């Protein structure tokens, strides 16, 4: 943090690393305190949200040394490109600035307008109008830019979009207000124009924020791939090559603990691979000569030699990232309810306003009065209540769901969740916990503490499962001395002078198992990936609201069938990421609205392509990013809850819409016939907004 | 009414100050790492060496 710097500041360069292993405040403190103690490093700054570290260091220190320094602290790190934040981020910040300016303008102009409405007259009113104009002009010019430029682009290509009527409304209201101000007229409508911009910008800024997060997920996905590989030359020498320079046909040596940088086929050696990031399956996959391996898998066992088949840009993981990107884009074109309504609504209002103008002109009211009435129609129908109808309901519902362990990431997600009429579940990690849990009923208290003492030294999935089971039962670990881990064999050590070990069982079986040896005694431990406790209840609740569930898994047939039989669900097994995506596309083409619930990286494209998607909190980062909602904890019930609350939310949204439309149906004719003064329009407008907000607040208790 | 001559500029100035503070906070990256800020509060001050 504030390390004394004995460095010449001008010589320092910045290198950024992505450190996915950061989990807590302790990690931040450790990295920021320990790194500057290394010779040549001036400072380190952690960005926890994006899991990145920026290291300021002397140029003499290379990427490898810095990576090793981080590894020395216990964090795996990958260097990232210098400017990881592209134009998306600029666009988002621009929207935030426009929103802030519009907010400032809105508050100040409102202050002035309220005094005019409550009866300021003569020179005071004129002064206030001029002040409003002075504030409004720059504010509209600055904050309106996103709308004006988008409308201009559309008009240039002879098309129209939502921004065209917005721009026309804002410009027309501003121009007439300016004229009114200049001629000392009674009414100016700067506040309505600025308020309109403010509410619209708030929606856009939130939308941009969501999209930025999705992109970050795809970046995180590609960051997990091995970045370099040891290539074995024809003469047997090895050479370290970056992933981009690998070619199909090369022979690569993959050491234990290393991540693969490309897809290939094993030529020599047997080992176990952690494929969790590709498939979400926790069990290490045993591989031998002839096995196909994929980039991103981590070698847990012995070194293997791999003949490469598909390299950078062409690997299975690249494919998944591309599918996710495409699927995500096709979904962002989804037309939201609010958009649909206001798309139909805006032209109607403008036509009405135009008709009012023409009508009053023909009735001989003079062009000035006719224009005032036309603008009154525009103002009183300011889509405030309409604009609040959806977001307020969604915010309240999301807050209620969050308290029940379900994080909804996107406002429109609730809309889509409510529309779903069928559900597809991944098996491992979704219906099941996704972690092997040990059956420790055969162990006595002493054996349990020895097992925990041994297992906590290993990062093997079975050890981690054993540790989780034992810790959950409150077991204290025994002190084990000289613990050593042999890849593929197990853990061994000594306890009170006895040799103890956690090792591979002698009898081979299809079940996941290990055995605990304490001196002469041998205990067998079996592992299972248990179903989430409330799976049955959740599925029952889903059926009650008319949602048919089925299983769509990449796992083996037998494993899937066992779960399917238990839960009485139809199932499809051995589905590749492409199969899953194709299944969803087919369902969507058939008019169904599938909800996908999955956790693995192989579910990523399916999650992005589904009508709506939910991922458990244990899912890979990429899947969590692709999903609309994430549920935390070991219960599946938040899935059913999400559907119920989403439907209730849409009910409230429809009520809000009905009210907003009803209000307009009443107010517009009055305005059309010239009975509405700006004061009445303002009160009616704020009242209608308040009613909508109050109605939305009823959702707070909906997630009980 | 003369009070307005003071009050309106004061109101505008305070609003503008808030706006400037927000711009400054955004430019200096205070919104870049919200989760980090939440966690940093838990870090103990380093012992003076």
Count of CB atoms situated within 10 Å of the CB of A469:
22
Nearest to A108 among B15, B35, B41 (CB): B15
CATH code of residue A524: 3.40.1110.10
Q: B33 CA to chain A: closest CA distance, Å?
A: 5
- With contacts defined as CB-CB under 8 Å, which chain A residues touch B26? 93, 96-97
Residue A656 located in a structural domain: no
Residue among A133, A136, A132, A116 at smallest CA distance from A124 = A116
Pair A455, A551 in one domain: no
Pair A473, A577 in one domain: no
Q: So what's the pLDDT on residue B20? A: 94
Residue A348 located in a structural domain: no
Own/partner contacts of A401-405, CB < 8 Å, gap of 24 or more, are A401/A629, A401/A638, A401/A641, A401/A642, A401/A645, A401/A703, A403/A703, A404/A638, A404/A641, A404/A703, A405/A631, A405/A632, A405/A633, A405/A635, A405/A638
CA distance A461 to A529: 12
pLDDT band at A139 (very low <50, low <70, confident <90, very high): very high
Q: So what's the pLDDT on residue A333? A: 34
**Helix, strand and coil percent figures for chain B, each rounded to 5:** 65, 0, 35
Residue A349 located in a structural domain: no
Q: Identify the domain containing residue A166 by its residue range.
A: 88-223
Nearest to B26 among A26, A49, A96 (CB): A96
Predicted confidence (pLDDT) per residue in A1-10, tens digit: 444 445 566 6
Torsion, Cα A503 A509 A513 A518, to 10 degrees, reads -40
Pair A428, A445 in one domain: no
Predicted confidence (pLDDT) per residue in B3-47, tens digit: 878 888 898 899 999 999 999 998 888 887 777 888 888 887 765
Residue A363 located in a structural domain: no
**CB–CB of A49 and B35 under 8 A?**
yes
Residue A286 located in a structural domain: yes
Q: So what's the pLDDT on residue A140? A: 94
State yes or no: pLDDT of A128 exceeds 80.
yes
Pair A126, A184 in one domain: yes
Residue among A171, A165, A163 at smallest CA distance from A136 = A171
Pair A120, A176 in one domain: yes
CATH code of residue A553: 3.40.50.1000
Pair A556, A416 in one domain: yes
B34 Cβ under 8 Å from any chain A Cβ: yes
Residue A571 located in a structural domain: yes
Pair A633, A555 in one domain: yes
Predicted confidence (pLDDT) per residue in A593-641, tens digit: 889 888 877 787 888 888 888 888 777 666 777 788 877 767 788 888 8
CA distance A184 to A180: 6
Q: So what's the pLDDT on residue A134? A: 93
End-of-domain residue from the set A528, A552, A568: A528
- With contacts defined as CB-CB under 8 Å, which chain B residues touch A100? 19, 22-23
CATH code of residue A14: 3.30.70.100
Pair A66, A93 in one domain: no
What sign has the CA pseudo-torsion A178, A181, A186, A187? positive
**CB–CB of B39 and A25 under 8 A?**
yes
Pair A71, A176 in one domain: no
What sign has the CA pseudo-torsion A543, A546, A547, A550? positive
Residue A51 located in a structural domain: yes
Residue A447 located in a structural domain: yes
Q: So what's the pLDDT on residue A265? A: 85
B11 Cβ under 8 Å from any chain A Cβ: yes
Pair A152, A214 in one domain: yes
- With contacts defined as CB-CB under 8 Å, which chain B residues touch A48? 33, 35-36, 39
The domain total for chain A is 5
Pair A442, A583 in one domain: no
Point out the least confidently predicted range of A78-87, A188-197, A426-435, A580-589: A78-87
State yes or no: pLDDT of A555 exceeds 60.
yes
Q: What percent of chain A has pLDDT over 70?
A: 78
Average pLDDT score over chain A: 77
CATH code of residue A238: 2.70.150.10
Q: B47 CA to chain A: closest CA distance, Å?
A: 11
Catalytic residues of A: 426
> For A31, which residue in chain B has the nearest alpha carbon?
B43
End-of-domain residue from the set A314, A346, A372: A314
B24 Cβ under 8 Å from any chain A Cβ: no
Pair A184, A302 in one domain: no
Q: B17 CA to chain A: closest CA distance, Å?
A: 10
**CB–CB of B32 and A47 under 8 A?**
yes
Predicted confidence (pLDDT) per residue in A251-281, tens digit: 888 877 777 888 888 888 777 777 665 555 5
End-of-domain residue from the set A223, A240, A270: A223
Structure ipTM: 0.83
The predicted model gives A42-62 an average pLDDT of 82
**CB–CB of B11 and A111 under 8 A?**
yes
**CB–CB of B18 and A104 under 8 A?**
yes
């Amino acid at each position: 943090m504030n390390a004394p710097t004995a460095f010449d500041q001008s010589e320092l360069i910045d290198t950024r690393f992505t450190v996915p292993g950061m989990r807590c405040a302790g990690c931040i403190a450790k990295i920021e305190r320990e790194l500057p103690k290394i010779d040549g490093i001036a400072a380190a700054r952690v960005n926890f949200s994006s899991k990145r570290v920026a290291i300021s260091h002397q140029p003499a220190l290379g990427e490898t040394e810095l990576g090793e320094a981080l590894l020395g602290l216990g964090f795996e790190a990958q260097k990232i490109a210098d400017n990881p934040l592209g134009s998306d981020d600029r666009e988002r910040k621009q929207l935030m600035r426009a929103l802030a300016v519009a907010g400032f303008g809105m508050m100040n102009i409102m202050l002035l307008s309220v005094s005019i409405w409550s009866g300021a007259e003569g020179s005071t009113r004129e002064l206030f109008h001029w002040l409003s104009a002075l504030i409004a002009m720059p504010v509209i010019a600055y904050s309106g830019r996103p709308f004006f430029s988008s409308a201009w682009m559309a008009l240039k290509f002879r098309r129209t979009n939502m921004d065209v009527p917005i721009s026309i409304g804002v410009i027309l209201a501003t121009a007439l207000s300016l004229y009114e101000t200049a001629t000392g007229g009674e009414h100016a409508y700067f506040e309505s124009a600025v308020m309109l911009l403010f509410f619209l910008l708030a929606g856009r800024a939130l939308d941009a924020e969501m999209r930025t997060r999705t992109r970050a997920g795809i970046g995180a996905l590609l960051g997990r791939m091995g970045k370099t590989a040891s290539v074995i030359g024809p003469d047997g020498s090895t050479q370290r090559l970056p992933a981009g320079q690998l070619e199909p046909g090369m022979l690569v040596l993959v050491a234990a603990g290393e991540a693969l940088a490309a897809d290939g086929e094993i030529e020599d050696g047997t080992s176990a691979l952690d494929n969790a990031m590709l498939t979400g399956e926790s069990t290490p996959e045993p591989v031998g000569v002839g096995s196909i391996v994929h980039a991103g898998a981590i070698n847990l066992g012995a070194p293997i030699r791999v003949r490469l088949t598909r390299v950078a840009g062409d690997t299975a993981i690249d494919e998944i990232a591309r599918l996710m990107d495409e699927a995500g884009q096709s979904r962002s074109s989804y037309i939201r309810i609010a958009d649909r309504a206001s798309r139909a609504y805006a032209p109607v209002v403008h036509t009405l306003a135009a008709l009012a103008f023409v009508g009053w002109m023909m009735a001989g009211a003079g062009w000035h009065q006719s224009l005032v009435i036309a603008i009154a129609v525009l103002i009183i129908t300011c889509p405030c209540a309409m604009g609040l109808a959806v977001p307020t309901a969604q915010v309240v519902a999301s807050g209620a769901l969050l308290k029940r362990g379900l994080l909804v990431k996107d406002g429109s997600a609730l809309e889509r969740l409510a529309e779903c009429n069928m559900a597809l579940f991944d098996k491992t990690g979704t219906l099941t916990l996704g972690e092997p849990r040990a059956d420790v009923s055969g162990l006595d208290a002493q054996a349990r503490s020895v097992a925990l003492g041994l297992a906590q030294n290993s990062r093997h999935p079975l050890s981690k499962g054993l540790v989780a089971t034992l810790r959950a039962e409150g077991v204290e670990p025994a002190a084990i001395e000289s613990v050593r881990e042999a890849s593929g064999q197990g853990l061994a050590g000594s306890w009170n002078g006895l040799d103890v070990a956690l090792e591979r069982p002698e009898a081979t079986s299809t079940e996941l198992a290990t055995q605990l040896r304490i001196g002469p005694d041998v205990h067998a431990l079996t592992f299972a990936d248990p179903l989430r406790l409330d799976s049955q209840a959740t599925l029952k609740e889903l059926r009650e609201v008319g949602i048919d569930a089925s299983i769509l898994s990449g796992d083996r047939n037998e494993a899937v069938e066992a779960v399917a039989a238990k839960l009485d669900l139809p199932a499809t097994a051995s589905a590749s990421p492409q199969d899953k995506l194709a299944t969803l596309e087919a369902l969507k083409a058939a008019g169904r609205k599938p909800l996908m619930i999955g956790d693995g990286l192989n579910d990523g494209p399916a999650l992005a392509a589904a009508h709506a998607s939910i991922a458990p909190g244990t899912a890979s980062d990429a899947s969590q990013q692709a999903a609309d909602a994430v549920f935390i904890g070991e219960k599946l019930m938040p899935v059913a809850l999400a559907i119920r609350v989403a439907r209730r939310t849409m009910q409230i949204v429809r009520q809000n819409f009905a009210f907003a439309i009803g209000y307009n149906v009443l107010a517009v004719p009055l305005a059309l016939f010239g009975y509405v003064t700006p004061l009445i329009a303002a009160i009616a407008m704020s009242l209608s907004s308040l009613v909508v907000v109050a109605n939305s607040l009823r959702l707070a208790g909906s997630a009980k | 009414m003369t009070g307005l001559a003071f009050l309106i500029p004061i109101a505008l100035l305070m609003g503008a100050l808030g706006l400037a503070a927000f711009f400054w906070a955004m430019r200096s990256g205070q919104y870049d790492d919200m989760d980090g800020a939440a966690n940093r509060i838990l870090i103990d001050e380093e012992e003076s060496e």
